[in-house]
Structure 1
Amino acid sequence: MSDAIKHECGIALLRLKKPLSFYKEKYGTSFYAIQKMYLLLEKQHNRGQDGAGLASIKLDMEPGERYISRVRSNKTSPIQDIFSQINARINEELEDRPELANDIDAQKKEIPYLGEVYLGHVRYGTFGKNNIESVHPFLRQNNWMHRNLIVAGNFNLTNVKVLFDDLVRLGQHPKEMADTVTVMEKIGHFLDDEVEELYYNLRDTEGLSKKDASPVIGERIDVARILRRASKNWDGGFAMAGMLGHGDAFVLRDPAGIRPAFYYEDDEIVVVASERPVIQTAFNVPFEEIKELDPGKAIIIKKNGSVSFEQILDPLERKACSFERIYFSRGNDASIYQERKMLGRTMMPLILDELKGDLENTVFSYIPNTAEVSYFGMVEGAQDILNQQKQERILAEKEHLTPEKLQEILSKTIRSEKITIKDAKLRTFITDDSNRDDMVEHVYDVTYGVVKPTDTLVVIDDSIVRGTTLKKSIVKMLDRLTPKKIIVVSSAPQIRYPDCYGIDMAKMETLIAFNATLELLKDRNMYHIIDEVYAKCKAQEHLPDEEVINYVKEIYAPFTDEEISDKISEMLHPETVKADLKVMFQTVENLHISCPDNLGDWYFTGNYPTAGGNRVVNRAFMNFVEGKDARAY
């Protein structure tokens, strides 16, 4: 992606089903789970590099013995940092206590982080906060084992203020109005209710003391009931993971399936992660054995190792995030790989129209590195078209075809090259603005000698958000190759609306499609539409979310996709660039054809999957009109 956008987070939950001695005997180490957690987080580092954290729980510890460990980091390489800290603690204990080396029970008792239940997290700070207190997992502590709650998630909620006010009405004092804190306190409140109800029942009906009641409470806690009560009014996209101090664990997915969650279970482990290939790689298991958690459902792992799936929230129409397929998730997932190729392939008819059928004088390339797979699909589509052209020419000339003529026809190939190379080592550290722009221009290098002045250069990107890097760097660099024309192809449609479910695209004015539409409104003396839409949005401010309409759609309604693309092309064409520039976008229809199971497209269409989305887009637009540099949620 030329315009890097921060996004989302990654979760990993691991439960060992066997005693630690089993893993020592079979895999040669009692630290098997810690090693696997490192893999699960490292293979999801693409999902967040602002911070990382890990928490572990030891089962069946005696009162007074430590059973929870947690480590978090917001350093430059947070995953490496937390595991360096863990390894240092482990090595320190083993060096000081050599008798622990072969005593697994003593290791579990004395060595931190050595347990049976683990929750890990990598994060991007979509609100710009990157202090250590913002790093997951979050811990809600209590002296009673089963009241301890550890939470981590890949999520954004649109109605945090409403949920915060609910907690205040209950008499609580949440430390801040943040969705993670609010979620944790919501679950914690109903966990407390559940524990108290169970205790009084055990005391009154079975005569148990607090100490004797404690393990029974752990067995009888109804995690599904707690989650149903806590999540009743959540609006947003989420894969929420948690552990209770005595050993129960869960992952709950939002009812529209916006945020991803995959799981695998056998007789040794249960594991949940944000991406399927992460589990495949870490545990060497087949693709088809890893399942996707259904929308609105929770996977619940009890302390005794039993696994159940509970419908916590009524499922909505499935709107799994298509950006996961286009860009965010790793491309080594078998289905994502094929979908990205299809995104490139389905662009070829549009590209061919723009080329007027001339493949001979066209060079195909891509913007590294995430657009590479869609590039393969684009080139395959071009090859299919070229083969068809060859066939038509052969049939047309069959009466006069000679071996030499046939060879000439068959020798035609698609010209595909690696044109752009990102210089990862270049840092734009110069403070003067004009000189910084000059440095930005050189973030990408180009390959010289493969493009002729008569050529059209077609370069595919996975998506175009702001267009800043295209204008200031990539297009200028490509122009140095002196092509006749540059076509920049986005395998994603035009991004017209902000995201509110975990992607850092919260402000309308940062989107090139929105800015291009504003220019079209000015060009055609239609800017009054902005005032009209603002008035409609303002009139809805105090309505419940379920009644709010996305009126921002009316800004785009007067224009075709092609008209907006042409204006984007004009706006992203630097004055110094001599080549013609055309920016092309995928269609929403072809996106759905390419990614049929992930139809979440609100950033392209404005069709938000939850009621809170319409309020957020209207607020984002009002912020723009009012000149407020603020997030809409």
Structure 2
Amino acid sequence: MSDAIKHECGLAFIRLRKPFSYYQQQYGTVMYGLNKLYLLMEKQHNRGQDGAGIASVKLHVEPGYPFLHRNRSIEQRAIADLFSQVGEEVADLEKYQSDIRKHPGLLKGHVKFLGELLLGHLRYGTQGKNNVEFCHPFIKRDTIQSRNLALAGNFNLVNTEELFGLVNIDPGVFQRQSDLAAMMEVVHHFLVQEDQKNPGRPDIAEVLKQSAKWFDGGYHFGGLVGSGESFVMRDAHGIRPSYYYISDDVIVAASERAAIRTTFNVGENEVKELMPGQALIVDVDGNYKIEQVLEAKERKACSFERIYFSRGNDEKIYRERSQLGYNLRDAVLKSIDYDLKNTIFSFIPNTAEVAFYGMVKGMEDYMNQIKVQRILSWGKDFDEEKLTEMINRKIRMEKIAIKDVKMRTFITEDANRNEMVQHVYDITYGTVRPHVDSLVVIDDSIVRGTTLKQSIVRMLGRLHPKKIIIVSSAPQIRYPDCYGIDMSKLGDFIAFRAAIALMKDRGMEDRLQALHEECKELARLGQLDSKNLVKEIYHPFTAEEISAKIAELITPPEINFPVELIFQTIEDLHLACPTNTGDWYFTGNYPTKGGNRVVNKAFLNYMEGKNERGY
């Protein structure tokens, strides 16, 4: 994504089902669980650049000894930092007893994170600041073992104020900035209530049923209870992804299927999807059940997971991203007037690469059809040279844009800073025939358009192509997200700015003001969640008109050749990604009422000049 957005967190959960001596005998190390947790987190590193955290619970600990441990880091290599501390702890013990690794019981007693219940988290900061205090897991400590709780997740909640009110808590400054803090208070509240009914053996399914019905948002979260129970749960719409794997040795859950497959070397069908509204619950003895905690609602799994967020080494995601690119074939062919001979195809590194291959495959299929038609039309009127020339025609592909990862925009003055931003990307000279070749460049999605205008289009312009066509494998991003992605300000979206510009071009400012007044009235009545008013801003215009306006907005004034934008259609998105139909950032069709409240609040902020989040 050329305009990077902060997004999904990653969850890693492991429950060891055998004694530590078993793992030492079977796998040659008592550190088996921690090693797997490290791998499971590293294979989801794409989901967290702001920090990481781990927690563990030890079973059957003697009274008075610690059983719940937690550590977090915001170092540049946070995962490595956390696990290197564990390694240093073991190394220090080996100074006094060199063979301590051969004594599982002794090692468990001295290594803090050598527990049977393990929880890992990778954080992308959406709500809250990027301080270590905001990194998951959060913990609640209590003198009663079964009321201790560690919690982490991948989610955003849009009703945190209501949640604090539910449990009669006046949140402090820190708590107001963290939706996990709100979730923790609610879950812990009902955990205590349940422990009062069943001392020492709380019914986790009941705790989750009482808690989750109050959460408005998309979520996948996991928890460890001090008495040895543990759980992972997914929201009722299945917005956030959740997968699990169970064997005789371990119970595992994570945010991505491929991470589990790689870490445990298992087949695709061995890793299951936790379905909407379900929880994977493990008791103190390692027995598990899949519980339908919330009634499943219409599946709205996040389509951005397939377009961009999840790692592309999952075979289904790879095929879907390829199909997204393939689906753009006809629109691109029309734009270049079917002139493949004078067109070069490339991609904006690096997340659009798979979609690029799909788009090229579409072009190759079209070219092969043309080859067959031409050859058949010749009859017997051809020679070896003519046939060879036709057969050897290829789609022209080049690596045009190169991201210079060494660039740092350290200059703070606006004018000089813009100059530096222009050079974040560089180009490959000599690849384009000036004023002859059209240049088609695919990106996975276009959010703000800032990098396109300030850097990419300017840099590509130095090659002097006949035309630049920017292709997005995602549809136009028009609305805020409030279920995990940090996209909450309407004014940030180039599609929204294009629609506003069209309204002004056509003298429709009075319509904009009328919508503002209607939105203020809904706010006064406490009905911001009743409908999405921002849809009315896009309604007068076709997708093509908005795309054309976006192209105008991202074209620097010195560019004197056409720049065109082509976006994926909603229909083709769903054809390519049939199981992930969540599309509210494109369509405005939010799965929960909280989404309507967020988009309308974002509109109010925009109209009133407030540079604030919509939730």
TM category, shorter: over 0.9
Give 1:176 deviation, angstroms.
2.1
CA contact (8 A) 1:168 1:174 kept: no
Q: What code does the residue aligned with 1:573 have?
A: T
Return the alpha-carbon distance in structure 2 between the equivalents of residues 310 and 348 of structure 1: 44
With over 3 angstroms needed to count, the CA separation of the structure-2 counterparts of 1:128 and 1:436, relative to structure 1, is: farther
In 1, distance between residues paired with 2:209 and 2:196?
18
Q: Which structure 2 residues correspond to residues 11-30 of structure 1 after superposition, within 5 A?
A: 11-30=11-30
- Offset, 1:145: 1.0
Determine whether 1:176 maps to 2:152. Answer: no
- Structure 1 residue 74 corresponds to structure 2 residue 74: yes
Q: For residues 552-611 of structure 1, what are the alpha-carbon distances to aligned partners after superposition, in whole Å with 9 as ceiling and x for unaligned? A: 100000000000000000111111223321111110111001100000000000000111
Per-residue Cα deviation, 1:401-438 (whole angstroms, up to 9, x for no partner) = 33332222222110011111111111121222212211
Q: Which residue of 2 aligns with 1:616?
A: 598
C-alpha spacing 1:47/1:467, structure 2 compared with 1 (3 Å): same
- Give the equivalent residue in structure 1 for 2:241: 260
Structure-2 change in CA distance of 1:396 and 1:297 (3 Å): same
The answer on whether the counterparts of 1:42 and 1:79 sit within 8 Å (CA) in structure 2 is yes
Which among 386, 390, 394 is matched to residue 405 of structure 1?
Answer: 386
Question: Cα distance, 1:542 vs. partner?
Answer: 5.3
| SS class of match (1:540) | helix
Q: Does the aligned pair in 1 maintain the 2:528–2:601 contact within 8 Å?
A: no
Paired residue for 1:511?
A: 493
Paired residue secondary structure (1:121): strand
> How many angstroms does 1:298 deviate by?
0.3
Q: Give yes or no for the alignment of 1:376 onto 2:357.
A: yes
The amino acid that maps onto 2:30 is S
- Answer yes or no: is the 8 Å Cα contact 1:164–1:174 preserved in 2: no
Segments of 5+ residues of structure 1 without an aligned counterpart are 200-216
**Cα shift at 1:446:** 1.2
Report the counterpart of residue 607 of structure 1 in structure 2. Answer: 589
1:108 aligned partner: 108
Counterparts of 2:97 and 2:487 in 1: how far apart (Å)? Answer: 51
The counterpart of 1:476, out of the listed 458, 465, 469, is 458
Determine if the alignment matches structure 1 residue 344 to structure 2 residue 325.
yes
- In 1, Cα distance between equivalents of 2:20 and 2:595: 46
Deviations 1:64-84 (A, max 9, x none): 122112110112221111112
Q: Which is further off, 400-409 or 430-439?
A: 400-409
CA contact (8 A) 1:374 1:462 kept: yes
Structure 1 residues 192-223: Cα deviation after superposition (integer angstroms, max 9, x where no partner) = 11111224xxxxxxxxxxxxxxxxx33xx210
Deviation at 1:233, TM superposition (A): 1.6
Identify which of 277, 292, 302 aligns with 2:283. 302
SS in 1 for 2:468: strand
Mapped to 1, the partners of 2:79 and 2:477 lie a distance apart of 32
1:550-565 alignment runs, 5 A limit: 550-565=532-547
Moved over 4 A (4+): 171-175, 542-547
Q: How does 1:522-601 map to 2 (within 5 A)?
A: 522-541=504-523, 548-601=530-583
Distance 2:128 2:280 in 1: 31
Counterpart amino acid of residue 194 in structure 1? E
CA contact (8 A) 1:3 1:464 kept: yes
Q: Aligned AA for 2:248?
A: D
Deviation at 1:26? 1.2
Structure 2 counterpart of 1:134: 134
Q: Distance in 1 between matches of 2:524 and 2:608?
A: 18
Q: Could you say what secondary structure the match of 2:167 adopts? A: helix
Asked whether the 8 Å contact 2:208–2:293 carries over to 1, the reply is yes
Question: RMSD of the alignment, in Å?
Answer: 1.5
- Which residue identity lines up with residue 575 of structure 1 in the other structure? P
Alpha-carbon displacement from aligned partner over 1:458-487 (angstroms, at most 9, x marks no partner): 000000000111111111111111211110
TM-score normalised according to structure 1 size: 0.95
* 1:545–1:67 Cα change, 3 Å: farther
What is the CA–CA distance in structure 1 between the aligned matches of 2:45 and 2:198, rounded to whole Å?
41
Q: 1:489 aligns with which of 471, 475, 481?
A: 471
| CA pair 381-235 structure 1, distance change in 2 beyond 3 A | same
SS at match of 2:168: helix
Given the superposition, is the C-alpha separation of residues 547 and 475 from structure 1 closer, same or farther in structure 2, using an over 3 Å criterion?
A: closer
Displacement of 1:457 in angstroms is 0.4
Q: Flag structure 2 segments of 5+ consecutive residues without an equivalent.
A: none
Distance in structure 2 (CA, Å) of the matches to 1:389 and 1:542:
62
Residue type at the aligned position of 2:601: R
| Aligned residue pairs, count | 613
Distance 1:546 1:319 in 2: 22
Cα distance in 2 between the residues matched to 1:379 and 1:284: 32
